Amino acid sequence: MSLSNDRWITLVYAKVAEVLADTSLVVPTTEFSSIAAPTDPTFALAIDHTLLKPDATAAQIDLLCDQAIRYKFKSCCVNGANVQQVSRRLQGSGVLTCAVIGFPLGAGTSAAKAFEAKDAVQNGAHEIDMVVNIGALKAGNYELVFSDIQAIVSAAGTPVKVILETVFLTDEEKIAASFIAAEAGAAFVKTCTGFSGGGATAADVLLMRKSVAYKPDVKVKASAGIRSFEKCVEMFVSGAERIGTSSGTAIMESAEAVAGSY
C-alpha cells in the first residue's frame, strides 16, 4: 500500500478518535486469559525467554537456551550476533529463535534494518522483533513509519513484532504506531525494549489491543519490567498474547519451590 503522508494522517486521526472513544474495558478472551498458575502448560507458550544485555557471554546464551528447552518456552529472544548459536542449540527442541532488529533505538535506515532482519532469518531466526522509527513517529511522518516496518516484514518473511517503545509515546502515538504496524503486516505490536526506562503497563496493552482489534491476526506482546507471574496475568487479562521477559526461569523455579513445599 503506497499512500501519501497526508492520507496517512487522515487515517491515523480517524483511528485515534475511534479507539479513544471506546471506553469499554472488555478484552476478547484468548487462550492465555484463564491461566491460573505457571504450571499450566499454556503459560510457557506465551514466554519469549530473553537475554539482550550487551555483555552476554556464549555460556550465558547456552544457559538461556537450556532453560527455554527445560520449561518449553515459546522462544529465546537474543541479539543478532547470538542467533546462529541459539538456533543450533535449540534445534529439534520446538523452541523458536527470535532476533531483535534495530535494537534498542530503531534509528537505523530501513535498508540496514531490512538487511539485519534477512541476515537473522538466514542464521536461523523464526521471529523478528524490530524497533519502530520513534523519531519519525513523533514527527508525524507516518509514511516513513509504514515503509520502515513494511521493509522489515518483506525482508524477514517470518512473523515480525513491532516494538513501539511506549515510554516515549502519548496515547495518540501508541494508537498511531499500532495501527500503522498492523497495516504494514506486523504479527504483533510490542510495548518496550526495556532499555529506555519504564515498562509494560496494563493500560498500554489494552490500548494497543483496541488499536489492532480490527485485524484479528495481529496480537500484542508485553515486554519490559515483567518479573512475576502476577504481572504476566495482568498483561494477559489486558489482551497480551506474548510476554517478553528475562525472568521466566525465576517464575518457574518459584512455582516449583511452592509445589515442592506441600
What cell does 40 get? 499450566
Nearest by Cα to 170 from 29, 46, 52, 12:
12
Query: Is residue 220 within a helix (H) or strand (E), and if so which, with residue range?
Result: strand 219-223
**Preceding amide of 104 cis, omega within 30:** yes
The catalytic site residues sit at 190, 221
Question: Residue 154: enclosing H or E segment and its boundaries?
Answer: helix 142-156
The answer to whether the CB of 75 falls within 8 A of the CB of 97 is: yes
The residues, any chain, with a CB within 8 Å of residue 261's CB and separated by 6 or more, are none
Query: Given the C-alpha cell 513509519, which residue does it identify?
Result: 145
- CA atoms lying within 13 Å on the CB side of residue 94: 8
* CB distance 73 to 44 below 8 Å: yes
Task: Report helix, strand or coil for 113.
Answer: helix
CA 260 distance to own-chain centroid: 33
Residue 71: partners with Cβ closer than 8 Å, 6 or more residues away: 44, 47, 49, 248, 249, 252
**What burial class does residue 250 get, using C-beta atoms within 10 Å of its C-beta: 0-12 exposed, 13-18 middle, 19+ buried?**
middle
Amino acid identity, position 254: S
> Which amino acid is it at 215?
K
